[in-house]
């Protein structure tokens, strides 16, 4: 089976599985306990905090461990919520774990603005700038779009925000960017940044939220006061330490070069195929492709039968009709219906990608021939 849906989830490194087992079965102690072996576990967890800060390029700030991106995004947005006539700015390109929280804020009576996308998939920067005012509490954008691979210019957005108001919080969903593209959070001036372990070969069910100023956040989960009171509940020790191992193992620059090569090889076999339209974002990890005259779900199922797994979009919303992200880019509905998402990881080989691209072309042509 050739797996090309890495934006949905990635295969965990074998080394991470070994670490996970060690801290689940042997060094399984609760880090909140006071005996020596438990204190060693707490120390290990704090080492992962430092590792994440370093990988983010953040010289200061706090790392709050969560169950994954959905909880991190909820904590960032709802945890920064304050009473009053505040306004919030979100993007039509947001992942459902941000977009649906935005709708919840709207339901609660807050003023919520949704900014559209340009034809290249990036957020409309001018629109964001025009909406920021003295009542704006938070601006939230995605770093790398999970549907198209479009990369938003975070520095440009943060400069807009700081020029308008020093009190606005800047939240970034960095799930498809962290450990995949090079950046420095200090230079980008971001207040809140979300990561998720299973998107970069760590275990599922663990993630983190970077918080520049912890005083900007309030807890949304209450209990024993773990994570300095900002996320109660016994820490997922094995998940956190295994996530740290994945971060240690990843070489962003080397992987990026490899993925570019895989993407370019893949595209070379599709670029001259009649009826194929490729929406290639700035990140080489994700491609959105439409196949004229063929339903994307039909193509996806047919490819599965041939041993190739691709996606239909966000795994958190792929079962729903339509595609908010592609619609906001101005892509016609018929084209959206015929689209699939192909996403790579450094565990893919050139041979796999070469074979998969040929299978996709053959399956597409066979379906078109049958329905013509």
Residues that are catalytic: 316
Q: How far is CA 204 from CA 10, 20, 70, 97, 242, in A?
A: 9, 11, 12, 16, 10
Q: What is the CA radius of gyration of the chain?
A: 21
Alpha-helical runs (H) found in 152-295? 154-164, 185-188, 237-249, 252-268
Nearest to 122 by CA among 154, 152, 159: 152
Q: E-assigned strands of the chain?
A: 2-3, 62-66, 87-91, 111-115, 136-142, 169-173, 192-196, 207-211, 276-279, 286-291, 308-309, 339-343
Three-class SS of residue 147?
coil
Residue 368: partners with Cβ closer than 8 Å, 6 or more residues away = 275, 293, 294
Contact 9, 345 (CB under 8 A): no
| DSSP codes, 37-96 | HHHHHHHHHHHHHHHHHHHHT-SS-EEEEESSHHHHHHHHHHHT--SSS-EEEEETT--H
């Amino acid at each position: 089976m050739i797996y090309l849906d890495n934006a949905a989830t990635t295969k965990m490194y074998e080394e991470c599985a070994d670490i996970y087992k060690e801290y689940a079965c042997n060094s399984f102690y609760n880090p909140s306990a006071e005996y020596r072996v438990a204190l060693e576990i707490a120390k290990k967890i704090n080492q992962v905090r430092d590792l994440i800060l370093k990988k983010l390029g953040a010289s200061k700030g706090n790392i709050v461990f969560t169950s994954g991106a959905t909880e991190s995004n909820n904590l960032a947005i709802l945890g920064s919520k304050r009473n009053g006539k505040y306004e919030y700015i979100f993007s039509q390109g947001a992942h459902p774990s941000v977009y649906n929280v935005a709708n919840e804020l709207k339901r609660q009576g807050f003023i919520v603005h949704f900014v559209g996308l340009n034809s290249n998939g990036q957020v409309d920067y001018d629109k964001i700038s025009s909406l920021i005012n003295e009542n704006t509490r938070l601006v939230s954008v995605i770093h790398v779009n999970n549907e198209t691979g479009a990369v938003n210019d975070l520095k440009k957005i943060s400069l807009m925000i700081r020029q308008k108001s020093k009190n606005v919080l800047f939240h970034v969903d960095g799930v498809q960017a962290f450990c995949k593209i090079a950046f420095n959070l200090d230079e980008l001036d971001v207040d809140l940044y979300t990561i998720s372990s299973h998107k970069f070969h760590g275990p599922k069910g663990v993630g983190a939220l970077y918080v520049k100023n912890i005083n900007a956040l309030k807890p949304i989960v209450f209990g024993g006061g773990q994570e300095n009171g900002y996320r109660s509940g016994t820490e997922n020790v094995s998940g956190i330490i295994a996530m740290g191992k994945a971060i240690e193992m990843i070489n962003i620059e080397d992987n990026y070069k490899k993925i570019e090569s895989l993407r370019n090889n893949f595209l070379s076999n599709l670029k001259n195929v009649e009826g194929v339209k490729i929406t290639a974002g700035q990140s080489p990890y994700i491609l959105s492709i439409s196949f004229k005259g063929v339903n994307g779900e039909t193509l996806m199922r047919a490819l599965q039968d041939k041993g190739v797994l691709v996606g239909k979009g966000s795994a958190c919303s792929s079962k729903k009709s339509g595609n908010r992200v592609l619609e906001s880019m101005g892509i016609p509905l018929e084209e959206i219906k015929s689209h699939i998402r192909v996403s790579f990881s450094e565990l893919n080989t050139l041979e796999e990608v070469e074979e998969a691209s040929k299978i996709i072309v053959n399956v597409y042509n066979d379906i078109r021939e049958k329905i013509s």
